Amino acid sequence: MSNDSASASHEQQLPPAVIVEGLVKSYYFGRIKALDGVDLRVEDGDVFALIGPNGAGKTTLMGCMLALLRTNRGRIRIFGKAPDHIDVRKVTGFLPERPSFESWMNATQFLKFHQMLAGRSNDATAEADIKHALESVELENVSKRQISKYSRGMLQRLGLAQVIIGKPRICFLDEPTSGMDPPGMDMVRNVLTQFRKQKVTVIVNSHHLDEIERVCTRFAFIRKGKMETQESISNIHSKMMIARWANGLTPDADVLKTAMEECGVTLADVTDEHCKIVLNGRQNASNVIQSLVRNNISIEEIFFDRRGLSDLFKVAKTNDARRVEDTMDDEKR
């Protein structure tokens, strides 16, 4: 077997970064289930988002994966090992929603301390790593200021620097943009992008859905302690494209049909103002535009009919309302 084949075979045999099976976490002697039979799979190198309404169980799930909470039932494996295994601890980074630090230190001292705890203080690049971490979170100009004088957003930045300095293989970020101003949110996105390039597995809990869509590879939607969906971010975007006619000039039906047949797509709907086109994939969009132009069809604008992560919350709210109505109808009967 060649070296390349052996390497490819080895990669195929690597376990997922995270496996959660049948996880149950309850309180008050089982009367309240924060997590109710949750299954989750996160591949190595994923930037994975946990989304859902407040109280859905996202932070509880993260606490269980970090072995900070004891589970009632189920199984969790991080890189094939229990979450409290020392080998897992060595490669894990964690940013809680409300971090608390040694306030008498400054940022440089704090990062040197945690670099030592991570066993990296003797690295040849130790000083450069601290400088890089401070620059990554844009704290280099206030690195000598006492932490007790930091704002909420600055503390979040420092917490992210602490994650970076440990050079984790997997990190858990609970609302990393909490208390952040717009530049801070851009900074978090840049850090997540760097993690993604470095193949660091990231599990992030956030309500900033636009940011999630921009940097994450996959997501899971949790509601009332149950996992409702897990899929790729790319799957939530519809393959429906809308073309709006210029000056309200509806093209000849036969000409439009010919244009669609040329690029192998399907017309879903045609009105006096626009048409809806079902693509085989988003990469077909340029072919559709070229075909419309080639057939002298005047277009004012073309855009994708996108379904976003926020729609999951709308669907959940609608389903809850329907359940309430159904319950009331049952009671009336």
Tally of domains within the chain: 2
Cα–Cα distance between 193 and 332 in angstroms, integer? 54
Query: Among 204, 219, 235, where does a domain finish?
Result: 235
Domain enclosing residue 168, as ranges: 14-235
H-helix or E-strand containing 206? Answer: none
194 and 221 co-located in one domain = yes
In whole angstroms, what separates CA 109 from the centre of its chain?
Answer: 31
Predicted local distance difference test score (pLDDT) of residue 320:
55
195 and 138 co-located in one domain = yes
What integer best gives the mean pLDDT of the chain?
85
Which 8-state DSSP code applies to residue 126?
A: H
Does residue 329 lie in a domain region?
no
Predicted local distance difference test score (pLDDT) of residue 327:
45
Query: Among 192, 213, 235, where does a domain finish?
Result: 235
173 and 74 co-located in one domain = yes
C-beta separation of 309 from 51 below 8 A: yes
Does residue 286 lie in a domain region?
yes
Does residue 116 lie in a domain region?
yes
120 and 151 co-located in one domain = yes
Does residue 107 lie in a domain region?
yes
Residue of 102, 49, 97, 13 whose CA lies nearest to 213: 49
Q: What is the DSSP string of 215-265?
A: H-SEEEEEETTEEEEEEEGGGGS--EEEEEEGGG-PPPHHHHHHHHHHHT-
C-beta separation of 205 from 35 below 8 A: no
171 and 269 co-located in one domain = no
Query: Among 186, 210, 235, where does a domain finish?
Result: 235
C-beta separation of 79 from 26 below 8 A: no
Predicted local distance difference test score (pLDDT) of residue 238:
60
For residue range 7-57, list pLDDT tens digits in order: 444 445 667 999 999 999 999 888 889 999 999 999 999 999 998 888 889
Q: Which two tokens stand for residue 326?
A: 């159904």
Is the pLDDT assigned to residue 60 strictly greater than 50?
A: yes
Comparing 51-55, 60-64, 189-193, 233-237, the range with the smallest average pLDDT is 233-237
Cα–Cα distance between 78 and 93 in angstroms, integer? 13
For residue range 208-245, list pLDDT tens digits in order: 777 777 888 899 989 899 998 888 877 666 667 888 99
Predicted local distance difference test score (pLDDT) of residue 236:
67
Predicted local distance difference test score (pLDDT) of residue 328:
44
User: SS3 for 49?
Assistant: strand
Predicted local distance difference test score (pLDDT) of residue 278:
79
Does residue 153 lie in a domain region?
yes
Cα–Cα distance between 165 and 285 in angstroms, integer? 43
Q: What is the CATH number of the domain that holds 136?
A: 3.40.50.300
Predicted local distance difference test score (pLDDT) of residue 319:
53
C-beta separation of 235 from 55 below 8 A: no
Q: What share of the chain is helix, strand, coil (3-state, %, to 5)?
A: 45, 25, 30
In the predicted model, what is the mean pLDDT of residues 50-75? 93
220 and 242 co-located in one domain = no
Category of 15 on φ-ψ map: left (φ > 0), alpha (ψ -120 to 50) or beta? beta
Is the pLDDT assigned to residue 79 strictly greater than 90?
A: yes
Q: What is the CATH number of the domain that holds 283?
A: 3.30.70.1150
For the chain, how big is the Rg over CA atoms in Å? Answer: 25
In the predicted model, what is the mean pLDDT of residues 143-154? 93
For residue range 93-142, list pLDDT tens digits in order: 999 988 888 889 999 999 999 999 999 988 889 999 999 999 999 999 99
177 and 296 co-located in one domain = no
User: SS3 for 281?
Assistant: coil
130 and 176 co-located in one domain = yes
Does residue 44 lie in a domain region?
yes
pTM of the model: 0.74
98 and 181 co-located in one domain = yes
Does residue 319 lie in a domain region?
no
User: SS3 for 66?
Assistant: coil
Q: pLDDT-derived band of residue 324, with 50, 70 and 90 as boundaries? A: very low
Cα–Cα distance between 190 and 47 in angstroms, integer? 13
Strand 201-205 with 47-51, pairing: parallel
Predicted local distance difference test score (pLDDT) of residue 305:
72
141 and 288 co-located in one domain = no
175 and 211 co-located in one domain = yes
User: SS3 for 172?
Assistant: strand
Does residue 215 lie in a domain region?
yes
Q: Which two tokens stand for residue 331?
A: 């009671």
C-beta separation of 93 from 172 below 8 A: yes
Cα–Cα distance between 5 and 2 in angstroms, integer? 5
219 and 258 co-located in one domain = no
